[in-house]
Structure 1
Amino acid sequence: MRSSSESDRLAVRGLCAAAAALTLVGCASGNGDDTGMPDALPRTSTAAQPGAFVGECGSLTDGEVYERAGMSGLKPVSRNGIKCRWEADGGARYVMFTWYRGSPIDRERSVAQGIGHEVHDLDIAGHRGFSSQNEGFCEVAVATGADFVHWLVRYGVGVTPSDPCAAPTALVDLTLKKAK
């Protein structure tokens, strides 16, 4: 009669042998093209093209942001390669740049529509995009290859200019002019 610990060791050995066999079978199966890709995944011959390169904060200086935003009292509060933000009045008014790498612009557009914003298609310097606005703010986004750049200006409660999208449109336009 075997002891309990000997039975346990035999069971573990059996499980290890079964796992090894399954691993070998898995490595040997497939479509024979040596890509390492399972048969069930679709294959595409064209990859999404990367977009234009934009530097930190859309390649814009603080002065260029202040001038185009037309807001007094803005101060930079965050700055990195994909997102920058300038605020005034403790964050009640702000300007924000975001660079979405490998993200579909239509998803962002759908979100804006889904929350009830007024959305308009636009084209800036040959780049397809949209503007989205609601009381006190406007955001403008344009595609560059598989990426898109996005500028948002929040004017604050009761302080919406006659054309709230003029500032973010000017910011996008300058970003595209500076893109590489």
Structure 2
Amino acid sequence: MRSSSDPLRPAVRATCLLAATVVLAGCGSGGGSDTDPASAPTTSVAVQPGPFVGECGSLTDAEVYERARIAGLTPVSRNGIKCRWEADGGERYVMFTWYRGSPIDRERSVAKGIGHEVHDLEIAGHRGFSSQNVGFCEVALGTGSDFVHWLVRYGTGSAPSDPCEAPTALGRLTLEKAK
């Protein structure tokens, strides 16, 4: 049992008082508005989740290696939303990310904002974009309110003539396997 001179007791009281104030503030009259809250317009957006794409876009390491064509790739991280394979200490890599409930246009804006070459893309009815710069390409494809994102970084001087071929193929295979 703590004594009344315990230094923790005033802090606990202050925290409880602050929490009660916050809760009660939400119960106020709304600043004297004569509008019935039930008649106030609401704006809600129906969120359509995309299909389940599974860990690493449901692709095996062998499928990633075959499409990326980067010698020496090895998996370095994998979970339900992001996977990464690296070669040459991370100089060259492949990365998959599954963005749940995130707007694909924000990712497109970031790519444009940092000076990447951005192109519209559509695969099997899924709209998205590709973004490339020296030595890499990324492909993002919308799936409902979600999107999948594949990035392949080849490093300087080792990119193929079409650096977007591999991430596009990886994205296509992910969409084929989505449930």
What's the secondary structure of 1:76's corresponding residue? strand
Q: When the two structures are superposed, what TM-score results if normalisation uses the length of structure 1? A: 0.79
Instruction: Give the aligned partner of residue 55 of structure 1.
Output: 54
Instruction: Give the aligned partner of residue 115 of structure 1.
Output: 114
| Identity score, percent | 77
Q: Distance in 1 between matches of 2:28 and 2:88?
A: 64
- C-alpha displacement of 1:47: 1.4
Instruction: Give the aligned partner of residue 7 of structure 2.
Output: none
- C-alpha displacement of 1:43: 3.1
**Paired residues, what number?**
154
What's the secondary structure of 1:131's corresponding residue? strand
- C-alpha displacement of 1:32: 5.7
Instruction: Give the aligned partner of residue 80 of structure 2.
Output: 81
Q: Distance in 1 between matches of 2:78 and 2:42?
A: 39
Instruction: Give the aligned partner of residue 89 of structure 2.
Output: 90
Q: Distance in 2 between matches of 1:26 and 1:161?
A: 59
Instruction: Give the aligned partner of residue 126 of structure 1.
Output: 125
**Is residue 104 of structure 1 aligned with residue 103 of structure 2?**
yes
Superposition CA RMSD, Å? 2.0
Q: Which runs of 5+ in 1 are unaligned?
A: 1-15, 34-38
Give the counterpart letter for 1:150 in structure 2. H
- Residue by residue over 1:131-176, the C-alpha shift from the partner in whole angstroms, topping out at 9 and shown as x without a partner, is 0000000000000000000000000111110110000000000000
Give the counterpart letter for 1:86 in structure 2. W
What's the secondary structure of 1:27's corresponding residue? coil
- Residue by residue over 1:73-128, the C-alpha shift from the partner in whole angstroms, topping out at 9 and shown as x without a partner, is 00000000000000000000000000000000000000000000000001011000
Instruction: Give the aligned partner of residue 27 of structure 1.
Output: 27
Q: When the two structures are superposed, what TM-score results if normalisation uses the length of structure 2? A: 0.80
- C-alpha displacement of 1:52: 1.1
Q: Distance in 1 between matches of 2:132 and 2:75?
A: 23
